[in-house]
Structure 1
């Protein structure tokens, strides 16, 4: 069977569905092609992941989050329970994403992508599903198949990392989660109220001495037996071998995230270290900007370079921020700093600080791509050491002309005379955070 569409989105995870819904709202004809995950999992996410789901309009998926539960953290020999996270049951979450597609009227083809043939005229996809083979023609292609997406040769990889996910069932009870550092890596564990239990150990792929694959369940059970956190959160079942899924969790950045008729989003554009607990958040971050980028590529092709630069730079900036956050957290573990796992990660991706010091004298006005009315255009922004992509507006206040006035010596009160007092206070607070101090 042959069919055609304006835009084909490959992948029915949060990034793919968010892009599809955004494109649908802009009036594009879009079809999502996806298949179910091959393993069950649970993810611990932060409140800002839930905010991202809400912003993307993924209301059925948002409803899947359990109530916040405390996460016990044992790191560098110290224990805390200050953090909390929301547990997402991925099979239930993935089904809810499909419900969000149905509610928006976006067709979903449950199929595997066998082949993709692309040229300047579009894309020809060979699909394989329960109904047999199908050919889908598309003018534009969105790659959202996560870490499984073909990456090409231009990419940046972090230290090679392997995660072993174990799952088993025990009696229903109180849910919760914990994370602990180990000499050769770290482990995250969670128990759902219905008794499903998950334990994942993350290791250095290059230096780990693991047994043969068929011996891994026993090896993981032995590792769990050494953990006081496991004994507290689970029960005797945790000491038995369990079903196991091995997967790469290496941080990866695609150095080319788009072209005239294609775009990468989510983990297909960049995949972060699972330690951050924000994989879904970063997927949504690139997906939420993608509809405007695609809209620009299709309706204003003369701005293609600008739109692709907007997408690439924001993906790279977010990747670097997450990578440096992970680096700093790894560096907190001092007991095994010389061990291969920790030595590699406490120094990657660089030595640049996560946040650069503020300095008003260092602010500069530059022209950069911005998002306006669902299109990418160029405008004047304020660039700082901590915001190299520039800031255009502060809740509706255009910053560049006001910063320029201050840099030319105009007093704050005169520069902000046209603003209401709440806006003046907000602008003053932002300027002070950037190191601005009015002349006496």
Structure 2
């Protein structure tokens, strides 16, 4: 099957690109692995995502999916006392704690209604072809797919970019450990509508109440530190939570119990050294990946998915600056994130000799480039 554009990855970035390109009249194939979800933690969506969802024609479907409303963030950062940051001043209203599998599926369905072909299968091989690209899948009933343009929306794996040998710069060693908690029977109901963040000597914690009624707790530290080894076990994860004040109290109030062992996930900040090339570009986490502390992941996935689609449309219209302009926009986005990241970490000065914080409080933090792995 020949497509104008083939998109590898069906998360928010890939679905957003598929949506806009299909509405522009291009034939689009959206390849994604069914049932796969990279980070089913307490992912949030900022109020500023609303205009993008409206642009994609996805706002009505989003509202119908009943994601949990989030009215702001509460944090113990730089101090043991909690500070509130409400979304009340946002012109777009409240944010949301997402049911990510439902959110992703909804965006894919909106893209399908726009004309995209959904291809729930796994990519086996990507190669250049005389007409553009040749993509093989693990579906024995389906012949190889061909396309003029290829979009890498495969998340942190950056499947296409890695195949092409494009290096990834990582600027920290952060890893996440997530645990899901269920409230005890007869416990006080949890009606929290904020995101709670609390820093500790070994890193920082995040917790949020999910649309499913479960509460997720995520611990972030550097992968080479002892706390990383401890967090991989149920007992160790629980012991680390006891180092907190506010997260532990939140769990205690509703009698929450950890359900199963914690799950680890890559949480490093980084970017491709080049997110575009002849006949291809990367969007979402495949192009730029942000520290979860920024809460920019899903928002930036939508933004870069839209921006990448427009770059392809501009390139097809004959603009020689389409891909360079897109690359420049990604660079500006990531550079702004790195500046804000450094400023925010420097607000925490309570453990200057702890390895996690030493790595972030040094003058060279913004320039560190760890080897690709």
Q: TM-score when scaled to structure 2?
A: 0.84
Q: Which residue of structure 2 lines up, in the alignment, with residue 370 of structure 1?
A: none
Higher relative contact order (Cα pairs below 8 Å, separated by 6+ residues): 2
Change (3 A) 1:297 1:164: same
Partner Cα separation in structure 2 for residue 61 and residue 147 of structure 1: 25
Is the counterpart of residue 289 in structure 1 residue 307 in structure 2?
Answer: yes
> Once the 2 structures are TM-superposed, how far is the Cα of residue 68 of structure 1 from its aligned partner?
2.7
Q: Which residue of structure 1 lines up, in the alignment, with residue 91 of structure 2?
A: none
Q: Which residue of structure 2 lines up, in the alignment, with residue 418 of structure 1?
A: none
> Once the 2 structures are TM-superposed, how far is the Cα of residue 243 of structure 1 from its aligned partner?
3.6
Decide whether the 8 Å contact of 1:21 with 1:104 is kept in 2: yes
Q: Which residue of structure 2 lines up, in the alignment, with residue 263 of structure 1?
A: 281
Is the counterpart of residue 231 in structure 1 residue 248 in structure 2?
Answer: yes
Decide whether the 8 Å contact of 2:166 with 2:274 is kept in 1: no
Decide whether the 8 Å contact of 1:157 with 1:250 is kept in 2: yes
Q: Which residue of structure 2 lines up, in the alignment, with residue 108 of structure 1?
A: 118
> Once the 2 structures are TM-superposed, how far is the Cα of residue 162 of structure 1 from its aligned partner?
0.6
Change (3 A) 1:48 1:319: same
Q: Which residue of structure 2 lines up, in the alignment, with residue 16 of structure 1?
A: 14
Q: Which residue of structure 2 lines up, in the alignment, with residue 220 of structure 1?
A: 237
Equivalent residue runs for 1:227-376 within 5 Å = 227-235=244-252, 238=256, 240=258, 242-300=260-318, 303-304=319-320, 306-346=321-361, 347=363, 348-350=365-367
2:82 is paired with a residue of what secondary structure? strand
Aligned with residue 170 of structure 2, among 157, 169, 179: 157
2:215 is paired with a residue of what secondary structure? strand
> Once the 2 structures are TM-superposed, how far is the Cα of residue 298 of structure 1 from its aligned partner?
3.0
Show CA shifts across 1:324-374 (max 9, x none). Answer: 1111110000101332212222343159xxxxxxxxxxxxxxxxxxxxxxx
| 5+ residue gaps, structure 2 | 88-94, 369-373
Partner Cα separation in structure 2 for residue 243 and residue 53 of structure 1: 35
Aligned residue pairs, count: 344
Change (3 A) 1:280 1:38: closer
Aligned with residue 138 of structure 1, among 137, 140, 147: 147
Q: Which residue of structure 1 lines up, in the alignment, with residue 46 of structure 2?
A: 46
Partner Cα separation in structure 2 for residue 144 and residue 192 of structure 1: 25
Change (3 A) 1:159 1:193: closer
CA-atom RMSD in angstroms? 2.4
Q: Which residue of structure 2 lines up, in the alignment, with residue 55 of structure 1?
A: 55
> Once the 2 structures are TM-superposed, how far is the Cα of residue 254 of structure 1 from its aligned partner?
0.9
> Once the 2 structures are TM-superposed, how far is the Cα of residue 209 of structure 1 from its aligned partner?
4.3
Decide whether the 8 Å contact of 1:10 with 1:141 is kept in 2: yes
Decide whether the 8 Å contact of 1:146 with 1:268 is kept in 2: yes
Change (3 A) 1:108 1:173: same
Partner Cα separation in structure 2 for residue 15 and residue 92 of structure 1: 15
Partner Cα separation in structure 2 for residue 239 and residue 196 of structure 1: 10
Show CA shifts across 1:249-269 (max 9, x none). Answer: 111111211122111111111
2:323 is paired with a residue of what secondary structure? helix
Equivalent residue runs for 1:184-199 within 5 Å = 184-192=202-210, 194-199=212-217
Moved more, 257-266 or 148-157: 148-157
> Once the 2 structures are TM-superposed, how far is the Cα of residue 219 of structure 1 from its aligned partner?
0.8
| Structure whose residues are more often strand by fraction | 1
> Once the 2 structures are TM-superposed, how far is the Cα of residue 46 of structure 1 from its aligned partner?
1.6
